Structure 1
Amino acid sequence: MDSIDDNPFADLQSSFTTPREADKENIEQGFKEVNLDDPSPPQETDVQVDDEQMRDDSVRDSSNNAASNRGNDQDEKDDNERLSDRKRSLSLQHQQQQQQQQPQPPQQQAQHIPANGVVKLPSGKMYEISVCDPQKIGNPANSYILYTIRTTTKMPAYRQNSLTVLRRYSDFLWLYDSLCKNNPGVFVPPPPSKQTYGRFKIDFIEQRRQSLEKCLIKCANHPHLSQDEDLKLFLESDTFALDVKQRQLDKAEGKSVLASWGSSIMGPKYIENDEWFDVEKQRIDGLELQLKALVKALQTLSTQRYDLASSLAEHSESLLELSRQFTHSETLTRLFQMLADISAQSKRGLDELIQSDASSFTATAEEYMRLISSIKSAFTSRIDLFHDIKAAESSYNKKKTTYEKQKSVGQIHQYNIAYSLKDLAMSENAVHESKRQFERVSALIKEEMSAFDKMRMEDFKFGLKELVATLLQSQRSIHEGWVKYEQELKSI
C-alpha cells in the first residue's frame, strides 16, 4: 500500500520544474564566470564556446522532456539570449575601464641582505669614518690631543649604526698593536709616527689628523680586519680604558703555553724553502730605500719652498713701499704695485703647493714607508709560526719517548694509559694545527702582497694628480700676472 506521503504527481512536477531549475543554475553559473574583480577582460572566444555549450545542454534537456516542456522552450531561449547579452555588456564595460586606468609602476625589488647580515654602505664600504675636532687636553706639563671619531656602519655586531667616541694618539697605537697580534700575516695600516717636538702646532695636528683618519678607514674596510673584536672595541666603547685592561687580562688568561713558546724559546735558524718570499723580501728592502730617499728629498724641497715663500713676502712688501715713493708718476707707482702683486701671488701659490704636497704626495710616501714596517712584521710572524711548529714537534717527541719508555718497562699503570694516549693525541694535533696555521699565513701574505701593489699604484697616482693640479693652477695664476705686466710695460 502506498504511503500517505507519496505524491502521485511527483514525476509530473519534476518534469515541469527540473528544466526551469537547470536553466536557473546555468544562468547563475554564467554570471559567476564573469568575475568583475578580475583585472583581465574575458575572452570573446571563451564566451562563445560557453554559450554554445549551454545551448546544446538546453536543447538536450528540452528534447528529453519534449512532451511536458514544450511551453518552456521559448522562455529558455530568451534566458540564454539575455545571458549572452549580459556577458557581452560586461566585457565591453571592463575593456573600457582597462583603457581608462593608467598602468601601475613595477614594484621595487626588495633589498637583498647577504647571509652574513652585512649590508654595505652606498659607497661600497662597510664603514664610513671621520676623525675630526682635535682638542688639546690637560695642563702644559702633561697635555695631549683628543680626537672625535664618528663612525657609520651597518655591521650587525655593533649596537648602533652611528657611533661617536673620543680617542687620543696612544689609543691608535694600541689598536695597531692589537690588530697585528690578532691577525698574523695581514699588512695592518700603521698610524703616523711619534713626534716629540712641535706636536701641538696647528699644521702638524692637521696632518696627523688626516693620517689617522686615512689609517683608520683602511683598517676598518680591510677584508681581514673589519670584524676584529679590538677594532669594534675601539670604535664603540665609551669606557675604553677599562675595557682595554679587561681585554688584556682575558688574553693573558687564554694564552696557551704553546703560543708562549714561539716568543720565548729560540728555535733553530729558519731556512726559507719558498723562493717567492726571498724575492719579495729583496724587493721590499729596495722599495724602503727608495721611499726613504724620496721622503728626504721632499722634506728638503718643502723647507726650501718655505724659505722662498718668506723671501717673496719680503720682496712684495719692499716693492709696495717703493711704489709709494713715486707719487709724481702714476705709471711707475702702478708698475711697482703690479710687480708686488705678482710676488704676493707667487708666495700664495707656494703656500698652496706646500700644503698640497704635505697632505698628498709627501704624506703618501711617508705612509708607505711606515707600511713597509708592517709588511716586515707580517714576514716575521710567519717565521715565528715556523718556530711554533718546531716547539710543538719537540714537545710531542718528548711525550712520545717518555710514554714508550715507561710502557716498555711497565712503569705506567693501566688506568693512566688512556690519559697518556689522549695527551699524545693532543700534542700531535697541536703539531698539525701549527703547520696549517703556517700554510694559511703564507698564503695570506701572498694575497696581501698582491693587494699592496695594487693599492700602492692607486694611492701614488692619486697623490701625483693632486700635486700636479695644484702646481699647474699656481703657475697659471703667476703666468697671467706676468702677461698683464708685460702688456702694461708695452703701453708706456
Structure 2
Amino acid sequence: MEKQGIDDETINHSIGESEPKVMKQNLNHGSKRPLNTDANTLHLESLHLDEKYLKLFSKPRFKRERNTHISITRSEPKDGSALNNLASDDEPLISFDIQIHEPTRIPTDLGEKYVQYPVITKSAVFENQSTYVTRRYLDFRWLYRQLQNNHWGKIIPLPPPIEKLKNYFQTQNEMVLMLQKIAHDPILQRDQDFHLFLTSDNFENKSRLRDKITRSGAYLDNHDLSEIHISEIELLGYEDASNVLKNGGIEAPYHQNFISFMNSIPKYTEQDTFILEQEKKLEILRWQLTEISKTLDLIKGQRLELGSVVKESSNIFNSISKLELSKQGSTVITEFADGLKKEKILFEKFSQNETMRLNLNFQKYQSLLISMKAVFNQRKKLGLYLAIVEDELKRKENELKKLPLNNSGMEENVLANTLTDKAKVVNNEYITLKNRYNKIIEKWQLIGKTIKEEISDSEQGILKEFESALSTLIKNHIDYYKNDIEVLQRVK
C-alpha cells in the first residue's frame, strides 16, 4: 500500500452544537442463535413479530393470497459441506462494555486541530476492570490494518470511511459498531493489538513500535480499505524475512529493469471453485448495491415531491374553506385540510426514519463487501508470492542440475565433499527457496480455509440481520398506515 495524504488535517470536522448520546453496547454473552439452514423459506413466525402484528396477517385475505411466507433462497457451497467454525469459537466470550463519548478538538502547535474520541471500556480481562483512553480517527484505521495483518482471511470490521467524518453522529456510531463487532468475535477480542488500542496511554509510540516489529504496514494506510499489505515477517518468520527484505522483497527480482525486461512476473490463477464463485458473487453484489444506492436517492426525491404535493393540496383546501360557501361545508373542508397537514408531517417523519434505516443497512453491507474483498486480495497476494517463489525454485533447480554434483545434490543431507564451492552456494539457495515455498503454500492453504469459514459465518449473519430488518420494516409500515388512517378518520 502506498502512503496517501491521510492526516489529521484531512480528517478534521466540525462537531455539532447539540450534545450527542453516548454510544454503547454491553457484550456479556457468547451464545449464537443457530439458524435453520435446512429450510429455504422464511416464515413470519421467525421474524418474532409482536402478537398485534401477527394478528393482522391472520385475518382473511383474498383466496389467491393464502401463502403466508416469503421465499428466500440461499446459495450453498457446491460440495454441500457445512464449514466448521474455528476451534476458538467454542471458547466463552469475554464481556466488554465499550462506550465512545463526545469527541474534543485538540489544537496543535501549528494552530491546527485534530479530533480525539474518548473510548471507555469495562471488562474483567483488564487489571483495573475499566479503561479510559482517547483515540484519533487514524488510530481506528491502524487497528483495522493491524488486525488485518494478524488474522489473514478473517473479515475485519471496518472503520467509517473518511468521506463520512463531517457527519459527527454517524462517524461516532460506526466507530462504536466497529469496536462492538471486534469485541464480540471470539478470536479478535483476544488480540493483543485490540487490547493495546483499548488500554494504552502511550498509544502513538507503542502502535508505531508494533507496526515496525510486525511490518504490518498499518501506518502506510491509504484511502481504499480493501487494499492489503502482506508482512514478510508474518509470512516467512523473522530470519528469512530479514534476508528477503534486504534484497527488496519477494517481488524485487522482477522489478529490476533488466530482469523485468527479460522475464515477466509469474501470474497467479485461482483454482479453488468456491473462492472463484464467491468473488463473482461479490462483484455482482457490489454492482447491485450501487444500483440500490441510486434507487434510494430516487425514492428520497419522490417522497419529498409527494410531501410537497400533500402540502399544496392542504393549502388549496384551506383556500376553498375561506370562501364560506356554507358553514358546514367550510368546517369539513378545513378539517380535511388540517388532516392533510398532519398526514404530511407523519409521512415526512416516516420517510426520514425509513431513509436513515435503509442507508444504515446499505452502508453496513457495503462495508462488509469491502472487508470481504480485502481477504480475497490477501489470498491473491499470497498466491502471487507462491507463483514467484515456485518460479525461482525451478530456476534454481535447473541451475543446480547443470553444476558438477551427484544425483543427491538437491537434498538437504548431501555431503559437503561431493559439491564444488559454487554448487554448495547454489544448493543452500535451493534449500532456502524450498523452505520458503513450503511456508508460503502452508499460509496460502490456511487462508483459503479461513476465507471459507468466514464466508459461511457471514452468510448466516446476513440472513439473521435480514430477518430483523424485514421484521422492523413490516412493523414500521403497519404503524404508519394505522396512524395515517386514524388521522383521516378524524375528519368527519
Normalization by structure 1: what TM-score?
A: 0.61
Give the match's secondary structure for 1:226.
helix
- Cα deviation, 1:321-363, whole Å, max 9, x if unaligned, reads 987897x9598357525632542343234224323431x3321
Tell me, in whole angstroms, the C-alpha distance in 1 between the residues paired with 2:314 and 2:277: 55
Tell me, in whole angstroms, the C-alpha distance in 1 between the residues paired with 2:347 and 2:105: 31
Matches within 5 A, 1:135-284: 135=104, 145-155=115-125, 158-195=126-163, 199-200=165-166, 204-252=167-215, 256-258=242-244, 261-262=249-250, 264=252, 267-284=265-282
Shift of 1:481: 0.8
Shift of 1:439: 0.9
- Cα deviation, 1:240-260, whole Å, max 9, x if unaligned, reads 222222222223485545587
- Cα deviation, 1:398-435, whole Å, max 9, x if unaligned, reads 6667777376796429xx97x98777655433222211
User: Are 2:428 and 1:428 equivalent residues in the alignment?
Assistant: no
- Cα deviation, 1:340-387, whole Å, max 9, x if unaligned, reads 2542343234224323431x3321222212322222221121122122
- Cα deviation, 1:246-295, whole Å, max 9, x if unaligned, reads 22222348554558745656641122222222222222222222222112
Give the match's secondary structure for 1:382.
helix
Tell me, in whole angstroms, the C-alpha distance in 2 between the residues paired with 1:352 and 1:138: 41
Tell me, in whole angstroms, the C-alpha distance in 2 between the residues paired with 1:186 and 1:269: 25
| Structure 2 unaligned blocks of 5 or more | 1-87, 216-232, 255-264, 407-417
Give the match's secondary structure for 2:490.
helix
User: Are 2:378 and 1:381 equivalent residues in the alignment?
Assistant: yes
Change (3 A) 1:211 1:304: farther
Aligned with 1:412 (options 410, 417, 421): 421
Maintained 8 Å contact 1:132/1:149: yes
Tell me, in whole angstroms, the C-alpha distance in 2 between the residues paired with 1:312 and 1:216: 43
Tell me, in whole angstroms, the C-alpha distance in 2 between the residues paired with 1:420 and 1:264: 19
Matches within 5 A, 1:25-104: none
More helix by share: 1
Shift of 1:437: 0.9
Tell me, in whole angstroms, the C-alpha distance in 2 between the residues paired with 1:209 and 1:316: 40
Tell me, in whole angstroms, the C-alpha distance in 2 between the residues paired with 1:301 and 1:181: 40
Indicate the residue corresponding to 2:300 in structure 1: 302
Letter aligned with residue 412 of structure 1 = D
- Higher relative contact order, chain-length normalized (CA < 8 Å, sep 6+): 2
Tell me, in whole angstroms, the C-alpha distance in 1 between the residues paired with 2:370 and 2:430: 39
User: Are 2:140 and 1:131 equivalent residues in the alignment?
Assistant: no
Letter aligned with residue 380 of structure 2 = I
Tell me, in whole angstroms, the C-alpha distance in 1 between the residues paired with 2:458 and 2:352: 28
Shift of 1:297: 0.7
Tell me, in whole angstroms, the C-alpha distance in 1 between the residues paired with 2:317 and 2:156: 53
Tell me, in whole angstroms, the C-alpha distance in 1 between the residues paired with 2:373 and 2:90: 34
Indicate the residue corresponding to 1:11 in structure 2: none
Maintained 8 Å contact 1:131/1:150: yes
Tell me, in whole angstroms, the C-alpha distance in 1 between the residues paired with 2:301 and 2:179: 29
Letter aligned with residue 478 of structure 1 = D
Tell me, in whole angstroms, the C-alpha distance in 2 between the residues paired with 1:410 and 1:458: 64
Indicate the residue corresponding to 1:351 in structure 2: 349
Higher CA-based Rg: 1
Judge which range, 205-214 or 394-403, deviates more. 394-403
Aligned with 1:371 (options 368, 371, 381): 368
Letter aligned with residue 120 of structure 1 = L
Shift of 1:143: 5.2
Letter aligned with residue 363 of structure 1 = L
Change (3 A) 1:480 1:256: farther
| Structure 1 unaligned blocks of 5 or more | 1-114
Shift of 1:390: 3.2
User: Are 2:470 and 1:464 equivalent residues in the alignment?
Assistant: yes
Q: CA RMSD in A?
A: 4.1
Letter aligned with residue 379 of structure 1 = F
- Cα deviation, 1:197-231, whole Å, max 9, x if unaligned, reads xx54xxx3223332332232223322442222332
Change (3 A) 1:232 1:315: farther
Letter aligned with residue 468 of structure 1 = I
